[in-house]
Amino acid sequence: MSEMSLSEINNSGLAARLLPIMIAVFVAFLVIGLALSVLPLHVHTGLALGGFAVGTVAGGQFAASLVSRIWAGHFADTRGGKQAVVWGLISASVAGVVYLVSIEFESTPLIAAAILVAGRAVLGGAESFIITGAVGWGLVLGGHANTGKVIAWIGTAMYAAFAVGAPVGVTLFDRFGFVSVALATTVVPFVTLAVVLPMKGVATQRKEGGSVKTVIGAIWMPGLGLAMASLGFGAMMTFASLLFSERGWNPVWLGVTVFAVSFIVARVFCGHLTDKLGGARVALACLVLEAVGLATVWFAAFEAVAAVGAVLTGLGYSLVYPGLGVEAVRRAPAKSRGLAMGTYTAFFDLALGITSPLLGMLAGRAGTGRVFLASAIVVALACPVAAWLKQRPVSHS
**What is the pLDDT averaged over residues 235-245?**
86
Hey, is 143 helix, strand or coil?
Answer: coil
Q: What is the mean pLDDT of the segment spanning 194-217?
A: 69
Q: Would you place residue 383 in the very low, low, confident or very high pLDDT band (cuts 50, 70, 90)?
A: very high
Whether the per-residue pLDDT at 274 is higher than 80: the answer is: yes
How far apart CA 291 and CA 299 sit, in angstroms, is 13
pTM (two decimals): 0.68
Which of 267 and 7 is assigned the larger pLDDT? 267
Average pLDDT over every residue of 171-183? 88
Q: Which range among 130-134, 159-163, 235-239, 295-299 shows the weakest confidence by mean pLDDT?
A: 159-163
Between 65 and 258, the higher pLDDT residue: 258
The answer on pLDDT for 355 being more than 50 is: yes
Q: Compute the distance between CA of residue 201 and CA of residue 272 in angstroms, rounded to an integer.
A: 25
Sign of CA dihedral 287, 345, 34, 133: positive
Q: For residues 397 and 384, what is the distance between their CA atoms, to the nearest angstrom?
A: 25
pLDDT over 70, % of the chain: 88
What is residue 3's predicted lDDT score, i.e. its pLDDT? 43
Per the prediction, the chain carries an average pLDDT of 82
pLDDT above 70 for 61: no
DSSP state of 145: G
Instruction: Tell me the mean pLDDT in the region 308-313.
Output: 95
Residue 86's Cα: distance from chain center in Å? 18
* 3 state SS of 367: coil
Mean pLDDT, range 185-211, rounded to an integer: 73
What is the Cα 240 distance to its own chain's centre?
A: 16
Mean pLDDT of 156-181: 83
Class of domain 12-196+208-390: mainly alpha
Closest CA to 396 of 143, 177, 120: 143
pLDDT given for residue 196 in this prediction: 83
Task: Name the band, by pLDDT with cuts 50, 70 and 90, for residue 155.
Answer: confident
Mean pLDDT of 64-89: 81
Provide, for the chain, the percentages of residues in helix, strand and coil under a 3-state DSSP scheme, each rounded to the nearest 5. Answer: 85, 0, 15
**Is residue 60 very low, low, confident or very high in pLDDT (cuts 50, 70, 90)?**
low
Which of 57-61, 251-255, 340-344 is least confident? Answer: 57-61
Tell me how far apart the alpha carbons of residues 177 and 106 are, in angstroms, rounded to a whole number. 12
- Backbone φ and ψ for 201, nearest 5 degrees, come out as -90, -170
- DSSP codes of every residue in 5-68: -GGG---S-HHHHHHHHHHHHHHHHHHHHHHHHHHHHIIIIIS---HHHHHHHHHHHHHHHHHH
Q: pLDDT class for 202, splitting at 50, 70, 90?
A: low
If pLDDT is split at 50, 70 and 90, which confidence band does 11 have? very low
How does residue 123 score in pLDDT terms, banded at 50, 70 and 90? confident
* pLDDT given at position 201: 66
Q: How many CA atoms within 13 Å lie on the side-chain side of 145?
A: 1
Mean pLDDT of 124-139: 84
Q: What is the mean pLDDT of residues 81-87?
A: 88
Least trusted range by pLDDT, from 208-222, 305-319, 356-370? 208-222
* pLDDT for res 150: 81
**Mean pLDDT lowest among 203-217, 273-287, 307-321:** 203-217
Task: Please provide residue 97's backbone torsions phi and psi, each rounded to the nearest 5 degrees.
Answer: -65, -40
Please write down the long-range contacts of 304-313, taking CB distance under 8 Å and 24 or more positions apart.
306/243, 306/244, 306/249, 306/255, 307/254, 307/255, 307/258, 309/372, 310/236, 310/240, 310/254, 310/255, 310/256, 310/258, 310/259, 310/262, 311/258, 311/259, 311/262, 312/262, 313/232, 313/236, 313/259, 313/262
pLDDT for position 204: 56
Per-residue confidence at 388, pLDDT binned at 50, 70, 90? very high
Asked if the peptide bond before residue 251 counts as cis, ω within 30 degrees of 0, the response is yes
- Contact status, residue 352 vs residue 59, Cβ threshold 8 Å: yes
Is the pLDDT reported for residue 225 higher than 90? yes
pLDDT at position 6 is 40
| Per-residue confidence (pLDDT) for residue 167, from 0 to 100 | 80
